[in-house]
A and B are shown apart, each in its own frame.
Chain A
Amino acid sequence: MNYRTVLTICPYCGCGCGMYLPVLDGCLGRPIPDKTHPLSQGRLCIKGWSAHEHVASKDRLTKPLVKTQGEFKEVGWDAALDLVAARLLKIREQHGPDSLAFLCSAKCTNEENFLLQKFARAVIGTNNVDHCARL
């Protein structure tokens, strides 16, 4: 039996409450609130207490999907990524960099957001970068 707890942050609102995720033999359990967190001080709301539930949902995507003739087919990473790169480049060549637009994410990390806007600006060459902050 392998049990450990990992300190992280609740995925929901901007409060940023602290929680430990218990992992028993690779399975995620119900979050345990972090008593030392300056804001949440050992408490969570009902969303925080239930934050582990969606992770194990049977709806999780586990393979890249490519749509052909209106239907999704599972493909390997190489095929999916090659297609993405080729299509983005083709659109840029034909219509210029500002014909592409990128949405970062308020659910992703700082590092991931930094990289996606760097990709849009430095590699593709457009400032069409936004996310759902206004929504």
Chain B
Amino acid sequence: MAGRVSTPLLEVQGLRKAYPGVVANDDVSFSARRGEVHALLGENGAGKSTLVKTVYGLLRPDDGRMQLDGRVYAPASPHDARQAGVAMVFQHFSLFEALDVAENVALGMEVPPPMRELATRIRDVSETYGLPLDPNRLVGTLSAGERQRVEIIRCLLQDPQVLIMDEPTSVLTPQEVAILFETLKRLRAEGKLILYISHKLEEIRALCDWATILRHGKVTGSCDPRQKSARELAETMVGSELALPAARTQDPGEVALSIAGLTAASGAAFGTELKDISLEVRRGEILGIGGVAGNGQDELLAAFSGESRSAPDSILLGDIPIGALGPNERRALGVLAAPEERLGHATAPDMSLIENAALSGRRRMGMVSRGFVNWGKARAHAERVIEQFDVRVPAAGSVARSLSGGNLQKFVIGREILQRPDVLVVNQPTWGLDAAAAAAIRQSLLDLAGQGAAVIVISQDLDELMEISTRFSALNEGRLSKPRDTAGLTLEEIGLMLGGAHDLEIAQGASRPDRAVGPGESAP
């Protein structure tokens, strides 16, 4: 891009938005131009989402002004924003699973054409931008990447001037990310402004022309991210040094848990069936299971935890068959699990931390005698978790719902780790957490493996799995790839393990010129 000389398309001045107890945006100002991918960079809770929700008309600012194309811009609702040419792709998809693609698109448009015409236009736009999509499919049957395409096409059909993307790559495979970047670059060439929210630094350095960095609701800097190193960006964003986990242990022990030929249907309406899963995990190792959301992660966790049962011999703990046992019997034997959804699945939202500690630990921590709960022991367990895992909460009697995501996750993981499991299975342990909390949780998982437990981490965050796991495997449409040692895996190999990008039009090589090495190429 030829510097930052042209007049701004979107100008934000002195924006302020306060909630009871927290100022989400404080005197935020920035300006962005046509034909620019403009990054809004910051940790969770830095105020990025509040800022773009204000631009999209979902929130009214307490103070401050915005200008769009030289005119005053004060959208009272998303309808106003869309009419002014501002469209948004949401972080948590704003899609309706029981409706089909065309219906979902129609809901996001101001004046949708008749359904048949809309279906044709969806096909046209999806071909133009290399995002294949069938308008008649139910959204509930689509993968995360395909769902995002629905959202993007919904926006593009309205020919917006400004496209807001809220953490678009968090659920995509590397190949899908490459496709998305191609699409965004094409939009940039058409002169559109893309506001790109992320906390992934490498991504921003690869894609964005300008970055505005936020911390605690304030703008702490703006720069051309291609001119800065990831470390410099991180320091502006976090304000302190990141704690990286210690090195992993190297010598795995005997096999702690093995699964052979497990096949299980899903209990949910749009769930994924597990197909012929086989794996073994050894003491002292962390087995990382990657994969894009909706490929069987929830079903796999349920198979480990005992929520869904199978043939007795399909799962062996050492040589004890546990496939037919329920969660309580498995917990008693030392197989513990922490599911993805913290509120409602891992914890009962309206019960206190003490009660939640008792719910998972009553067998292993000896909290029950003759049918009565020993609340003293339950409280002691909860307090030990709070202390050792730095859970920031006024008292152990606080209800689970009142904790922030990061604090609750530290409690959930700590609650299981302190029960000294032989096998611990966690799903998305650091999803949506800020860097400090995520690092603490990863470290505690490494420590647990170091003490000789077998740990299985199911996660969509590849960086996380590369960082902590000894071996890596991927879930794709309910099938588990053969685990491989993490050391020495390349990004391309991981992408192939994750699979799923073969129906995309743009070839992988074209999108990564810096990595692709042509067959006839030789070093100069």
Do A and B assemble together?
no
Chain B residues with a Cβ under 8 A of chain A: none
